Amino acid sequence: MIDIIIAAIATLGALFVLLAAIGIVRMPDTYLRISVTTKAATLGVGLLLLSSTIFFSNADVTSQAFVIILFLFLTAPVSAHLIGRASYFIGVKLWDKSVMDELQGKYQKNTHILKSKVDDTPEDNVDHSKMDDADK
Amino acid sequence: MTLVEYLHYIILPVLVISAVLILWRFIQGPSIADKIVSLDLLITTGIGIIAIYSIIYSQSTLMDTALILALIAFLSTVALSYYLEKRKRK
Protein backbone atom coordinates (compact mmCIF):
# COMPACT_ATOMS: atom_id res chain seq x y z
CA MET A 1 0.00 0.00 0.00
CA ILE A 2 2.75 2.43 0.96
CA ASP A 3 4.56 1.49 -2.27
CA ILE A 4 1.57 2.60 -4.34
CA ILE A 5 1.49 5.99 -2.56
CA ILE A 6 5.23 6.47 -3.11
CA ALA A 7 4.91 5.50 -6.79
CA ALA A 8 1.96 7.86 -7.34
CA ILE A 9 3.72 10.84 -5.74
CA ALA A 10 6.95 10.12 -7.66
CA THR A 11 4.96 9.88 -10.90
CA LEU A 12 3.35 13.26 -10.28
CA GLY A 13 6.73 14.80 -9.49
CA ALA A 14 8.38 13.35 -12.60
CA LEU A 15 5.48 14.59 -14.75
CA PHE A 16 5.86 18.11 -13.37
CA VAL A 17 9.62 18.07 -14.06
CA LEU A 18 8.90 16.83 -17.60
CA LEU A 19 6.36 19.63 -18.06
CA ALA A 20 8.98 22.16 -16.98
CA ALA A 21 11.47 20.70 -19.47
CA ILE A 22 8.93 20.80 -22.33
CA GLY A 23 8.04 24.36 -21.33
CA ILE A 24 11.64 25.54 -21.36
CA VAL A 25 12.06 24.11 -24.84
CA ARG A 26 8.74 25.26 -26.32
CA MET A 27 8.18 28.71 -24.80
CA PRO A 28 8.93 31.57 -27.22
CA ASP A 29 10.48 34.07 -24.83
CA THR A 30 13.07 34.28 -22.04
CA TYR A 31 10.59 35.70 -19.52
CA LEU A 32 8.01 32.99 -20.22
CA ARG A 33 10.75 30.38 -19.81
CA ILE A 34 11.66 31.83 -16.41
CA SER A 35 8.01 31.65 -15.36
CA VAL A 36 7.69 27.99 -16.41
CA THR A 37 10.91 27.02 -14.67
CA THR A 38 10.11 28.44 -11.25
CA LYS A 39 6.56 27.13 -10.98
CA ALA A 40 6.73 23.63 -12.39
CA ALA A 41 10.18 22.62 -11.22
CA THR A 42 9.73 23.56 -7.57
CA LEU A 43 6.47 21.59 -7.34
CA GLY A 44 7.93 18.59 -9.19
CA VAL A 45 11.12 18.36 -7.14
CA GLY A 46 9.10 18.96 -3.96
CA LEU A 47 6.91 15.96 -4.77
CA LEU A 48 9.96 13.78 -5.53
CA LEU A 49 11.53 14.72 -2.20
CA LEU A 50 8.19 14.04 -0.49
CA SER A 51 8.15 10.53 -1.95
CA SER A 52 11.61 9.83 -0.53
CA THR A 53 10.37 11.17 2.82
CA ILE A 54 7.48 8.69 2.79
CA PHE A 55 9.82 5.85 1.79
CA PHE A 56 12.33 6.31 4.62
CA SER A 57 9.84 7.70 7.20
CA ASN A 58 12.32 8.59 9.89
CA ALA A 59 13.07 11.98 11.40
CA ASP A 60 16.48 12.47 9.78
CA VAL A 61 15.38 12.21 6.17
CA THR A 62 12.10 14.01 6.83
CA SER A 63 13.74 17.07 8.35
CA GLN A 64 16.40 17.14 5.66
CA ALA A 65 13.90 16.84 2.82
CA PHE A 66 11.72 19.55 4.32
CA VAL A 67 14.75 21.84 4.61
CA ILE A 68 15.45 21.30 0.90
CA ILE A 69 11.79 21.89 -0.04
CA LEU A 70 11.64 25.07 2.07
CA PHE A 71 14.90 26.30 0.57
CA LEU A 72 13.68 25.69 -2.99
CA PHE A 73 10.35 27.40 -2.31
CA LEU A 74 12.14 30.42 -0.79
CA THR A 75 14.90 30.82 -3.36
CA ALA A 76 13.12 30.08 -6.65
CA PRO A 77 11.15 33.39 -6.75
CA VAL A 78 14.21 35.37 -5.68
CA SER A 79 16.46 33.93 -8.36
CA ALA A 80 13.71 34.24 -10.99
CA HIS A 81 13.26 37.92 -10.15
CA LEU A 82 17.02 38.53 -10.25
CA ILE A 83 17.54 36.87 -13.61
CA GLY A 84 14.44 38.49 -15.09
CA ARG A 85 15.59 41.93 -13.97
CA ALA A 86 19.11 41.37 -15.31
CA SER A 87 17.80 40.14 -18.66
CA TYR A 88 15.52 43.19 -18.91
CA PHE A 89 18.51 45.46 -18.35
CA ILE A 90 20.75 43.80 -20.90
CA GLY A 91 17.99 44.17 -23.49
CA VAL A 92 16.54 40.71 -24.02
CA LYS A 93 13.52 41.28 -26.25
CA LEU A 94 9.98 40.27 -25.35
CA TRP A 95 8.04 37.94 -27.64
CA ASP A 96 6.82 39.93 -30.63
CA LYS A 97 3.22 38.83 -29.91
CA SER A 98 3.34 40.12 -26.32
CA VAL A 99 0.47 42.52 -25.71
CA MET A 100 2.15 45.12 -23.51
CA ASP A 101 5.41 45.89 -21.73
CA GLU A 102 4.52 47.44 -18.40
CA LEU A 103 8.15 48.18 -17.53
CA GLN A 104 8.75 50.24 -20.67
CA GLY A 105 10.72 53.35 -19.74
CA LYS A 106 10.44 52.86 -16.01
CA TYR A 107 13.85 51.36 -15.20
CA GLN A 108 16.68 53.88 -15.04
CA LYS A 109 19.72 52.91 -17.07
CA ASN A 110 22.44 54.35 -14.87
CA THR A 111 21.08 54.15 -11.34
CA HIS A 112 19.06 50.90 -11.85
CA ILE A 113 16.09 52.36 -9.95
CA LEU A 114 12.50 51.39 -10.81
CA LYS A 115 10.18 54.39 -11.08
CA SER A 116 6.43 54.07 -10.85
CA LYS A 117 5.70 56.22 -13.89
CA VAL A 118 7.52 57.27 -17.03
CA ASP A 119 9.12 60.67 -16.41
CA ASP A 120 10.62 63.24 -18.76
CA THR A 121 14.19 61.94 -18.88
CA PRO A 122 13.91 59.65 -21.88
CA GLU A 123 17.65 59.31 -22.40
CA ASP A 124 17.99 57.60 -19.03
CA ASN A 125 15.12 55.11 -19.31
CA VAL A 126 15.46 51.50 -20.41
CA ASP A 127 13.27 51.23 -23.51
CA HIS A 128 13.36 48.10 -25.61
CA SER A 129 11.78 49.71 -28.64
CA LYS A 130 14.72 52.13 -28.93
CA MET A 131 17.41 49.61 -28.03
CA ASP A 132 19.47 48.03 -30.78
CA ASP A 133 19.91 44.27 -30.46
CA ALA A 134 23.60 44.29 -31.28
CA ASP A 135 24.70 43.33 -27.77
CA LYS A 136 22.76 40.63 -25.98
CA MET B 1 6.39 -4.85 -10.63
CA THR B 2 8.08 -3.76 -7.47
CA LEU B 3 8.62 -0.16 -6.42
CA VAL B 4 12.34 -0.25 -7.21
CA GLU B 5 11.71 -1.59 -10.72
CA TYR B 6 9.02 1.02 -11.33
CA LEU B 7 11.32 3.83 -10.23
CA HIS B 8 14.22 2.42 -12.20
CA TYR B 9 12.47 1.78 -15.50
CA ILE B 10 9.80 4.52 -15.65
CA ILE B 11 10.55 7.45 -13.34
CA LEU B 12 14.30 7.74 -13.98
CA PRO B 13 13.98 7.68 -17.82
CA VAL B 14 11.35 10.45 -17.63
CA LEU B 15 13.69 12.56 -15.52
CA VAL B 16 16.63 11.85 -17.83
CA ILE B 17 14.55 12.81 -20.90
CA SER B 18 13.64 16.10 -19.25
CA ALA B 19 17.33 16.68 -18.37
CA VAL B 20 18.27 16.12 -22.02
CA LEU B 21 15.57 18.60 -23.15
CA ILE B 22 16.88 21.20 -20.69
CA LEU B 23 20.44 20.54 -21.88
CA TRP B 24 19.28 21.21 -25.45
CA ARG B 25 17.99 24.61 -24.35
CA PHE B 26 21.26 25.21 -22.47
CA ILE B 27 23.28 24.62 -25.65
CA GLN B 28 20.81 26.35 -27.97
CA GLY B 29 19.70 29.30 -25.80
CA PRO B 30 19.58 32.53 -27.81
CA SER B 31 20.52 34.84 -24.95
CA ILE B 32 22.80 34.28 -21.96
CA ALA B 33 19.81 34.60 -19.59
CA ASP B 34 18.30 31.46 -21.15
CA LYS B 35 21.50 29.58 -20.42
CA ILE B 36 21.49 30.68 -16.77
CA VAL B 37 17.83 29.70 -16.34
CA SER B 38 18.34 26.30 -17.94
CA LEU B 39 21.45 25.66 -15.82
CA ASP B 40 19.40 26.39 -12.70
CA LEU B 41 16.64 24.05 -13.87
CA LEU B 42 19.21 21.36 -14.73
CA ILE B 43 20.59 21.39 -11.18
CA THR B 44 17.04 21.32 -9.79
CA THR B 45 16.29 18.25 -11.94
CA GLY B 46 19.47 16.71 -10.54
CA ILE B 47 18.05 17.12 -7.02
CA GLY B 48 15.00 15.09 -8.09
CA ILE B 49 17.18 12.37 -9.64
CA ILE B 50 19.21 12.16 -6.42
CA ALA B 51 15.99 11.77 -4.39
CA ILE B 52 14.88 8.87 -6.62
CA TYR B 53 18.33 7.26 -6.40
CA SER B 54 18.24 7.46 -2.62
CA ILE B 55 14.97 5.48 -2.70
CA ILE B 56 16.34 2.88 -5.14
CA TYR B 57 19.51 2.17 -3.18
CA SER B 58 18.00 2.87 0.29
CA GLN B 59 20.83 5.29 1.03
CA SER B 60 19.47 8.24 2.95
CA THR B 61 22.90 9.91 3.04
CA LEU B 62 22.47 10.87 -0.63
CA MET B 63 20.07 13.59 0.53
CA ASP B 64 23.06 15.59 1.83
CA THR B 65 24.22 15.97 -1.76
CA ALA B 66 20.77 17.22 -2.75
CA LEU B 67 20.94 19.93 -0.09
CA ILE B 68 24.39 21.05 -1.28
CA LEU B 69 23.16 21.11 -4.90
CA ALA B 70 20.19 23.30 -3.92
CA LEU B 71 22.56 25.76 -2.24
CA ILE B 72 24.92 25.81 -5.23
CA ALA B 73 22.05 26.37 -7.70
CA PHE B 74 20.79 29.43 -5.84
CA LEU B 75 24.28 30.86 -5.33
CA SER B 76 25.29 30.42 -8.96
CA THR B 77 22.09 32.00 -10.27
CA VAL B 78 22.44 35.00 -7.97
CA ALA B 79 26.11 35.50 -8.81
CA LEU B 80 25.66 35.14 -12.57
CA SER B 81 22.69 37.50 -12.73
CA TYR B 82 24.49 40.03 -10.48
CA TYR B 83 27.50 40.21 -12.77
CA LEU B 84 25.30 40.10 -15.88
CA GLU B 85 23.49 43.19 -14.64
CA LYS B 86 26.70 44.91 -13.59
CA ARG B 87 28.40 44.36 -16.95
CA LYS B 88 26.51 47.24 -18.56
CA ARG B 89 26.85 49.70 -15.70
CA LYS B 90 29.23 52.47 -16.68
Confidence band of A93 (pLDDT split at 50, 70, 90)? confident
Listed in sequence order, the residues at least 6 apart from A24 whose beta carbon sits closer than 8 Å to its beta carbon are: A33, A36, A37, B21, B22, B25, B37, B38, B41
Mean pLDDT for chain A overall: 84
Judge whether residue A58 has pLDDT over 80: yes
B67 contacts A48? CB cut-off 8 A = no
Q: Give the distance from residue A93's alpha carbon to the nearest chain B alpha carbon, in angstroms.
A: 10
pLDDT(A36) > 70: yes
Q: Roughly how many angstroms between the first and final C-alpha of chain A, as a whole number?
A: 53
Taking CB atoms and an 8 Å limit, are B84 and A86 in contact across chains?
yes
| Partners of residue A72 in chain B, C-beta under 8 Å | 44, 47, 70
ipTM of the complex: 0.90
Is pLDDT larger for residue B90 or for residue A69?
A69
Q: How far apart are CA B68 and CA B8, in angstroms?
A: 24
- In chain B, what residues touch A79 (CB-CB under 8 Å)? 40, 73-74, 77-78, 81
Facing A71 at nearest CB: one of B32, B54, B70 = B70
Tell me which DSSP letter residue A94 carries.
P
Sign of the alpha-carbon dihedral angle for B75, B25, A18, A29: positive
| Contact between A22 and A37 (Cβ < 8 Å) | no
Instruction: Please state, in angstroms and rounded to a whole number, the distance separating the CA atoms of residues A2 and B78.
Output: 39
Distance from CA of A75 to the nearest CA of B (A): 7
